[in-house]
Amino acid sequence: MSLVASLLTTRFIPEDLGAQPLDFEWKAAEYYIGPVEEITPFIKWLGNKTTCGVQSICSGVMLWGARRLEAHVPTQHNFELALAGFAGQTNRFLVDVQAGPMQKVPEGPKALAAMVAMNTQLRRALDMDEWWINYFQPVMELSHLVHLARHIIHASHREVFDSWLAEVVGRVDQIAPKPKTPEPDIDDFRDLSAFADYIAPHRGLPLPPDILDTTEPFRAEGAEARAVEAANAIRLTPNRYLRTEAEIAVLAADSGEQP
């Protein structure tokens, strides 16, 4: 089974996740996204990883959310967005996070509101205009996604989700820890290119989708090659969030960078 097909089967998610009753309450998204300013021990646990590492976990959490709600609301765009997150780790200009449905989180129905709330956080987490040359990572967005997922997942499956998350976080900690180099001052660099070179290790190397598959042992050896293989395969699938080669070339030329 290919890396992409394996990811889409989400065999690490219980098959009956979406069959459980939608018994969660819903007032407004801000009630369920967790801390927005305080850096808690939980947020620190999610952090201290490269940007590619954090984004990989974000995509995985979205897969749980989409599987949970797919019987009740449209979710195809969110599966595509989660996949695009892995492809986007290989090219700054590949993913257009504004290419899919965009709306404010509605008051209801609750399944739609929860799905839109998760989509909003994942689009923010995968926006490489924000994160490609950034010392920091979308850790708060990941925290919000996790809190939303735990809120909507039925109590009977919450421990399974927590166990999956703990294992994936551990895998990412091993293969993609955030470097210890200090926060830079851009004025200390001769140009943006030098600053980007300093930031690159904090973005890290792309990770393969199989880092999410806790039904199989993760192989750190060859991970980057599998990530590139998966990204190339994802680019061949229908996905509204992926730009064409021509669109990428235009953006790269405008930025003065190589596509």
At 235, give phi and psi (nearest 5°): -65, -15
- Pair of tokens at residue 174: 């091993």
Q: At what angle do helices 110-125 and 139-152 cross, to 10 degrees?
A: 160
pLDDT tens track for 77-121: 999 999 999 999 999 999 999 999 999 999 999 999 999 999 999
19: burial class by Cβ within 10 Å (0-12, 13-18, 19+)?
Answer: exposed
User: What's the pLDDT at 255?
Assistant: 84
User: What's the pLDDT at 226?
Assistant: 97
In this predicted structure, the answer to whether residue 259 has a pLDDT above a threshold of 60 is no
In this predicted structure, the answer to whether residue 31 has a pLDDT above a threshold of 60 is yes
Q: What does the radius of gyration of the chain's CA atoms come to, in whole angstroms?
A: 18
Evaluate the omega torsion of the peptide bond into residue 238 and state whether it is cis, within 30 degrees of 0: no
Domains of the chain: which residue ranges?
Answer: 50-191+207-255
Instruction: Give the span between the Cα atoms of 101 and 118, in whole angstroms.
Output: 12
Look up the pTM and report it. 0.96
pLDDT tens track for 209-249: 999 999 999 999 999 999 999 999 999 999 999 999 999 99
In this predicted structure, the answer to whether residue 3 has a pLDDT above a threshold of 80 is no
- DSSP SS3 for 40: coil
Contact 46, 170 (CB under 8 A): no
pLDDT tens track for 148-193: 999 999 999 999 999 999 999 999 999 999 999 999 999 999 999 9
In this predicted structure, the answer to whether residue 5 has a pLDDT above a threshold of 90 is no
